[in-house]
């Protein structure tokens, strides 16, 4: 795991299965709102608004399709593991 892993968070289902083999989540845009998703467990979490500009280059239809998909999935709180030598200063 790297510091970027901690930044994005992990799917809690993947992390509970095996924290040593958990994969990076994928990005999904709904307009300027950006979500990180785990397709394996059909869960997602909010990442932020306009964090990356990728949403600007996608057609509105893609955003509508993403919105429809997320409406069927479960929103979760991601896991932010504390790595060796790191302190939890997120409050």
For the chain, 91 residues long, give each residue's pLDDT as a single digit of tens.
Answer: 344 445 678 888 888 887 777 777 889 999 999 999 999 999 999 999 999 999 999 999 999 999 999 999 999 998 887 655 555 554 4
Supply the pLDDT for residue 85. Answer: 52
48-52 contact pairs (CB < 8 A, 24+): 52/27
Angle at 76 between CA 70 and CA 78, to 5 degrees: 120
Give me the number of domains the chain comprises: 1
Q: In this structure, is residue 35 part of a structural domain?
A: yes
Q: In this structure, is residue 91 part of a structural domain?
A: no
Q: In this structure, is residue 13 part of a structural domain?
A: yes
Task: For residues 52 and 33, give the distance between their C-alpha atoms in angstroms, rounded to a whole number.
Answer: 10
State the residue range of the domain holding 44: 3-75
Q: In this structure, is residue 81 part of a structural domain?
A: no
Q: In this structure, is residue 84 part of a structural domain?
A: no
Q: In this structure, is residue 68 part of a structural domain?
A: yes
């Amino acid at each position: 795991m790297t510091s970027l892993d901690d930044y994005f968070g992990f799917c809690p289902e993947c992390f509970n299965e095996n924290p040593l083999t958990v994969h990076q989540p994928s990005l999904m845009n709904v307009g300027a709102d950006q979500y990180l998703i785990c397709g394996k467990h059909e869960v997602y979490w909010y990442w932020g608004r306009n964090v990356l500009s990728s949403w600007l280059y996608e057609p509105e239809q893609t955003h509508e399709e993403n919105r429809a998909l997320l409406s069927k999935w479960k929103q979760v709180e991601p896991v932010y593991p504390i790595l060796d030598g790191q302190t939890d200063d997120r409050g």
